[in-house]
Structure 1
Amino acid sequence: MRILLIVNAGSGGVDDPDAIAAGLRTRGADVDAHPIDDLDDLRDAPPAGVDRVVVAGGDGSLGPAAALAAQLDVPLAVLPVGTANDLARALELPLDDLEAALDLAARGEGLRTVDIADAGVVPFLNTASAGLSVHATRSAVPLKRVLGPLAYAAGAVHAGVRAQPLQVRVAADGEPVFSGRAWQVIVAGTGAFGGGSKLDVARPGALDVAVLVAGPRRQLLRRAHGMRVGGLTEQDGVVHARGTTVTVEGPGDFNVDGDVRTVPGGRFTTADQVRIVVS
């Protein structure tokens, strides 16, 4: 098997990129390794003869790698070496066990199809959120190396106490969904985010959007519970819709799979699909 390996050396769990490539080679793979900064060049001049793309990185690395795998029409395998590893948790991939993850990446055959969403500046797989999530992510960044995934919980607590609602206008496929003040707006692909939180999504082929309407701050505890155990979109005060195109006007910044970015026009679309190795 010929593997195109993409490594984000900036992810916390990547101590030795060469060791990752060597681990795949010992499992019989022919490995062509690249740093994540090469992704644009690889998409402009895609290599021939690739059987599988393997990405070693956190959630923010997965969307761009998935777009390359979709372009090459090959499966994507994930080595979850980031902080939250939300996609890996959602798909029940090996966590905190690099050897098991390497086995799956090199030898796994079971595939699951996942939508690739486009935030204009970057493709993503899990979620793009405005409001509390941006505040929480910025608060969590300095805590990641000390607390790991718990940094997101600490950031969420800080956001719940200090953040203020946003004035937003949300539409799905051109139809108005919500206009007013909201604590948070979540645009979801897989719906996984925040080190174990989730938004229940109906089916592949479209984006889900959930608006946490502004109200008493004490309601955020119930929202947080819904994010952890499911059922958030069924709660009173949460507006839910689906569409292939979602626009969120008002906020400047979004948390896109763990990275805070400015999204042009607040416009999100379904872009493609990727087959992820899961077993």
Structure 2
Amino acid sequence: MPRVALLANEGSGTGCDPDDLERLLVRHGATVDVFPIVGLREAVATGPDRLAVAGGDGSIAPAAAAAGEVGAALAVIPSGTANDFARGAGLPSDPDEACRIAAAGTRERVRELARMDGRPFVNVASAGLAARAASLAAPHKQRLGVVAYVLGAARAALTEPAVPCRLSADGREVFDGAAWQVIVSSSGHFGAGSSVAEADPSDGWLDATVIEAGTRARLVLHGWGLRSGRIADQTGVRHFRAEELDLDVPADTGYNVDGEILSRGGARFTVEHEAYRLIVG
């Protein structure tokens, strides 16, 4: 009977109920200790076989890092608004099925863990339009769900300026100019349905996608490219792969890191290969 430490974020998009999730996990054969999402240190201190996280995408990377450090497998019970990580990993949205996999699943995938100045992320870290779009969407997520992301992206595309930036990949400068958006990908899934198809969270490489500044009219085409996953194939878009990326942007540039909004200047991105085990079925 596996020992599961459950981290539950009751304030996430779907407002998960830790008691309900605990009952489902027990029904599927686990012994369970429940912790609030801020109790990560206490959760791993119990020595679980599996660390389950129920929350939005921003909750997953810290849990993945901790699970990898202590040798526990990571399970994800999607409970956010967008749930981009779960979608990309092929995990079920149904709580009962997600709890069955968390408690009794036997298939695992070994995954990389990306970091921005040491901060872990599992999906993408984006500078430029994505950060503003997420900020505009945030007040409406509870009411509109994923539609809030679409509306936020549209408003950002109409109003936000391009970002001057310089990008180096493994020590070699690969881009110097203005960009609408710079996307550093691990899984490559973000924005409630957008993706970068080239990104593979098991290959140990970071994928950088630069959407060069151009006319705002072209942003409609780029938006389609993001929704279809083929953004890197488009004219005016550059794609690079590296183990280390250095991005130089103005101070107080907005970043969207797994759905969490940060404001800072330049950043260094690194990747840890085979950093944690994800239970997938």
Give the TM-score normalised by the residue count of structure 1.
0.93
User: Which of 56, 77, 81 lines up with 1:83 in the alignment?
Assistant: 81
Distance apart, 1:21 and its partner CA: 1.6
Whether 1:18 and 2:19 are equivalent positions in the alignment is yes
In 2, the alpha carbon distance for the partners of 1:40 and 1:208 equals 30
Shift in Å at residue 264 of structure 1? 6.8
Amino acid aligned to 2:280: V
Correspondence for 1:173 among 166, 170, 173: 170
Query: Any conservation in 1 of the 2:186–2:199 contact (CA below 8 Å)?
Result: no
- Secondary structure in 1 aligned to 2:38? helix
Task: Report 1:26-65 matches (<5 A).
Answer: 26-40=27-41, 46-48=45-47, 50-65=48-63
1:86-117 deviation per Cα after TM superposition (whole angstroms, max 9, x unaligned):
0111112112x211111111111111222111
Q: Which moved more, 1:79-88 or 1:29-38?
A: 29-38
Aligned partners of 2:6 and 2:43 also within 8 Å: no
Counterparts of 1:40 and 1:53, CA distance in 2: 11
8 Å Cα contact 2:51/2:72 also seen in 1: yes
Do structure 1's residue 153 and structure 2's residue 155 form an aligned pair?
no
State the number of aligned residues: 275
Where do 5+ consecutive residues of structure 2 fail to align? Answer: none
**Of the candidates 83, 90, 93, which is equivalent to residue 92 of structure 1?**
90
Q: Residue 262 of structure 2 corresponds to which residue in structure 1?
A: 261
Once the two structures are TM-superposed, the CA of residue 22 in structure 1 deviates from its matched residue by 2.2
Q: 1:265, CA displacement in angstroms?
A: 3.8
Q: Quote the residue 1:271 is aligned against.
A: 272
2:71 paired residue number: 73
TM-superposed deviation, 1:40: 4.3
Give the Cα–Cα distance (whole angstroms) in 2 for the partners of residues 34 and 68 of structure 1: 14
In the TM superposition, what is the alpha-carbon distance from 1:276 to its structure 2 partner?
Answer: 1.2
Query: How many percent of aligned residue pairs carry the same amino acid?
Result: 42
SS where residue 226 of structure 1 aligns?
helix
The unaligned stretches of length 5 or more in structure 1 are none
Instruction: Give the aligned CA root-mean-square deviation in angstroms.
Output: 1.6
Per-residue Cα deviation, 1:138-184 (whole angstroms, up to 9, x for no partner): 00001101111121111111111111101111111111111111000
| 2: CA distance, partners of 1:87 / 1:7 | 16
Deviations 1:184-209 (A, max 9, x none): 00000000000000012254101000
Pick the aligned partner of 2:100 from 98, 103, 108.
103
Q: Which residue of 1 aligns with 2:221?
A: 222
Residues 188 and 201 in structure 1, CA contact (< 8 A), matched pair in contact too: no
TM-score, normalised to structure 2, is: 0.93
Secondary structure of residue in 2 paired with 1:177 = strand
